[in-house]
Structures are given as C-alpha cells and as structure tokens.
Amino acid sequence: MTEVKDEADGASAGVLLVQNATWQAEGVVSLRLVDPGGGPLPPWRPGAHIDLVLPSGLIRQYSLCGPPEDTHGYTVAVLLDTDGRGGSREVHETPLVGRTVSVRGPRNRFPLVSAARYVFVAGGIGITPILAMARELSSRGADWSLVYGGRSRSTMAFAGELAALGAGRTQLVPQDESGLPDLDAALARATPGTAVYCCGPEGLLAAVQQRCAALGTRAGLYVERFGAPTGGGTASGGGDLTTAFEVELRRSGNVLTVPADRSILDVVRDIAPQTPSSCEEGFCGTCETRVLEGVPEHGDSILSEKERETGRTMMICVGRSRTPRLVLDL
C-alpha cells in the first residue's frame, strides 16, 4: 500500500467568501468558496484538499471536488456525520453563505500519478477527491473505471455526473439495492501498471488493501483516509514512548518538557494555544511540523516510510522523540 504525500503547493488561499451552498445528495452539501475581491485562487490538482477554519475555530479537511480549471472558486462537499466530532454538523447547521472563512492550502497528499490505467474504489463521501480525478482522466481519454458504493442511491453525491462522465466505466452500488461492492471483480481489472485509488470508510480501505496485497506488484494502491486506521497509527518503532523528552521551539526560543502522559501538541499549546490541529489522531496532517534537529518517533498514518526515514517533518499530535531533544520549526 502507498499513502502518497506531496508538499504543499506553496500558496495559501487565506480568507474566502462562501458564495453558495448546494445540496448534492441526502445529507451532503457542497460549498463554493471565492476570493472576496474576485481574484484568482492558488491552483490545485486532483486529490488536493483544503483546511477549512470554521466559525467555531474547528479546523476540518475537505477534498476539492470542483474542476481545477475553475480558477476563481473552490468547491468542497461535506457529509453530515451526526456521530462525528462536530465539524460537519457546524457546516450543515450554520448559515455560512455570505460569510468569510479562513482557508489553508490547497495541499495534495493524494495526487494522481501517471499510470497505464486506473481503478477507483470509493465509499460514500470518499467520492469527492475521485470525482476530480475522473474528470481529468476523461478529458485525457485515459483508461479508468470506478466502483462507487453508498448506503442508498439518494445518499450518493455526484452519482449522476459520474454516470454520465464515465458511461460504461462507472458502477454505482447502492447497498440497499445491491449489497456491498464486489471488490474482487473491480480489482480483477488491475493489470500490471494499474494505479488503484481508494477513499472511503476504514473498512473499505482495509478490504481493498488486503486484496491489493494479494495482487503483489501488479498494481500500486493509493489511499486517503477520513479517520484513523483501525488499531491507531503506524509508529516507526525504536524509541521509548514512556519517557519524557524536550522540545525546543526554534522560532520562539522556548524549551519545553514533554512528559510521558502528554503529547507534543498538548505541551506546545500551553504557550501557543492557537497551534493548528484537527484530528489529533495522526491522519489529517493539520499539525505537521518541520523537524530541524533530533530524531522523531512517528505515530501517524500519513507519512511514507521514506519520509519517516528522513525525519524532516512529524505530526506533533501523535509523534514523540527517539532522542533527548527535538528542535521544531515553531
């Protein structure tokens, strides 16, 4: 399995105006965000997301699902999760149209790689990054197929556009009509040189991961998570996670002690309460921080093995230290 991470595009959208809100399916609303002055926004490619700072201060990540050629607007779609952490409820219940919100990014941890062909597997709101990919591949005339599962047809956002966009390529699988997607059949098309992209609930990701592992080198798997993986993060191992260590914040000059029962993020917030974070479980990337000195102990589910080896960045919500001191770019 490959979890792809690209560096930030280098530009941040800043403060944007919520121009309109549109119901895309039962429980799914999309927002179009524009520059208040009408100017162009930083460019992005399929797979990118933005950090949306909600009026309450909550920070949530949403995939961009509009066309990248729309240089004056970003579109995101938000599923109401009544059992979630409150972000989606705020989007759905707060009158946002006509208000400005802070936006960080776009950043792309799920980029569309070059491949001979593509197999997409999406579950529920996991369709959002894949929609932009399907549009681009259709415009290229590339070889792609999509299996898109949802609870019911009425809850499946963008189903009509995808069916038209990928006539003969898109299989819609409403669970109340057809049960669960046939992943074996979908992945049987993963011939050598195929890129498999999956986004959706953790159970779907785990099932696709298991099947792709059985395929060996036939296909590369690229996933994007909306939650922490089952069993927590993927710590790199080798450090003593029960001991305290120091973090030096290079920009402020502060040196802090991180005890065994607190995270780096918790301790940093004692002196910098506005330090951005969202999931605090190591899967969203909001708190990613550059490491200037020391060897981090990773506990996230974002960084690749190569990125872990370099130790240049870490997620301070779950990471610790393998050395007595870390120096961070904070």
The 8 Å CB, 24+ separation contacts for 266-269 are 268/316, 268/330
Rg (CA), the chain: 20
For residues 125 and 157, the answer to whether their CB atoms sit within 8 Å is yes
pLDDT tens for residues 214-236? 877 566 899 988 766 655 444 44
Domains defined along the chain, listed by start:
14-107 (2.40.30.10), 117-225 (3.40.50.80), 245-328 (3.10.20.30)
CA pair distance 13, 7, nearest whole angstrom? 16
SS3 of 29, please?
A: strand
* pLDDT value at residue 9: 41
CB-side neighbour CA atoms (13 Å) of 92: 18
The mean-pLDDT minimum among 69-83, 130-144, 150-164, 268-282 falls in 268-282
pTM above 0.85, yes or no: no
